[in-house]
Structure 1
């Protein structure tokens, strides 16, 4: 991270320049047993491909609203940074009927059909797997994203003062996301590089987004993002905290 970073995309660029090989997001789904670890470089590559899909194939640009009907998941984190890279507004669990693009998990496809714009479906299967059959009216993210470019350049510069995120009805500019993540880092226990936060919080509030992504990104730390953490025993959680070298827990 650099003091001059004004957007979440800037934070990711700085992390990539500083130490591309370090872990950034480690994801667990305790309903399926899935574990995925993404280094800064791997995460940034997914973000670039997704941003190219969003800007190119889906024709989204600065100010367009992208409703993310997704749980706390590593692919959701990718979409949040892809929106930030394009300059689109990530509306977390937002109204698909008011969105230009909707990105839906398998459990919210019916609601997502209210979007009159482009619709993207994520199977959220282990290893980024595809749907056995593409849902009607959607494109399958896992089919479309691999062929996208590994580098992303926005058609228009992203304005840090423009809206970038909507969480629980609250709108944040890109600069505000960065500033608030930095300001709240001490409260989360994120003290800088080496800090590793385990979060079992949903992505439907600022607190969940900050604990599950933005706080670590803003401080040079990393996140262990856990879905269905309530299915894990206290003993198993303690072992995970130890094995993943977690320094702070939010659940």
Structure 2
């Protein structure tokens, strides 16, 4: 397959200026909204970093050990744009690992990037020698990317062709292109990343993902964001 997952996602976007991902964390009060153009720029920076600094080629492994967050979304899309095989739970050699600060001790890859998981992708202070800061590593790279193709595997044991064929299961509700979908469904394993993150985007939907809200608050967010359906 020559098309990357990221390329397919971006071709489904009806309007690059409209929100593609809106991220809420009720514990921190964060609300971050990214248009398709902005999220695509972050993904391009990450893809350029992977190819130009790490030497990642289509099919090479990139480990992602991150919770749901807009920066995690950018990392996944950037890795796939570079043609990488994203490793979550699966075995395999990784050229680089993107991790949260809390998970740093669990990794011994030659290249490790700590992702801050804050609203502004600010730097992470006091990192050990040899560990890369996400902001410093990524920001300097260009926000345009020309892919060299996709690897055979997209994420753990899921092939790129298989992932690209994913259909969005919205239950009894339809999710037409351009629909806004509120979701609390996880995306931390290969299967949940496929179903909770990739599938809505491949359907051309805009994803509003919320952490830590009760039902009343979710209803309020749904009304404020003018979402068309909810996945809880």
| TM, length-normalised to structure 2 | 0.90
Conserved 8 A contact 2:175-2:203: yes
Give the deviation of 1:236 after TM superposition.
1.6
Residue 201 of structure 2 corresponds to which residue in structure 1?
217
Q: Encode CA deviations 1:32-63: one digit per residue, 9 max, x unaligned.
A: 11110000101110110110011111211112
Aligned residues: 232
Q: Encode CA deviations 1:189-248: one digit per residue, 9 max, x unaligned.
A: 452223222222322234532444212211111101223x2xx23322210111112222
* CA distance in structure 1 between the partners assigned to 2:231 and 2:190 by the alignment: 13
- From 37, 41, 45, the counterpart of 1:41: 37
Give the deviation of 1:98 after TM superposition.
3.7
Residue 10 of structure 2 corresponds to which residue in structure 1?
13
Residue 163 of structure 2 corresponds to which residue in structure 1?
177
Aligned: 1:157 with 2:160: no
Residue 192 of structure 1 corresponds to which residue in structure 2?
176
- From 92, 99, 109, the counterpart of 2:94: 99
Structure 1 runs (4+) greater than 6 angstroms displaced: none
* CA distance in structure 2 between the partners assigned to 1:206 and 1:64 by the alignment: 17
Conserved 8 A contact 1:92-1:203: no
Structure 1 stretch displaced more, 45-54 or 129-138? 129-138
Conserved 8 A contact 2:89-2:189: no
Give the deviation of 1:139 after TM superposition.
0.6
Q: Which consecutive unaligned segments of at least 5 residues does structure 2 have?
A: none
Q: Which consecutive unaligned segments of at least 5 residues does structure 1 have?
A: none
| Larger fraction in helix | 1
- From 140, 159, 175, the counterpart of 2:133: 140
- Tell me the C-alpha RMSD between the 2 structures: 2.3
* CA distance in structure 1 between the partners assigned to 2:216 and 2:133 by the alignment: 38
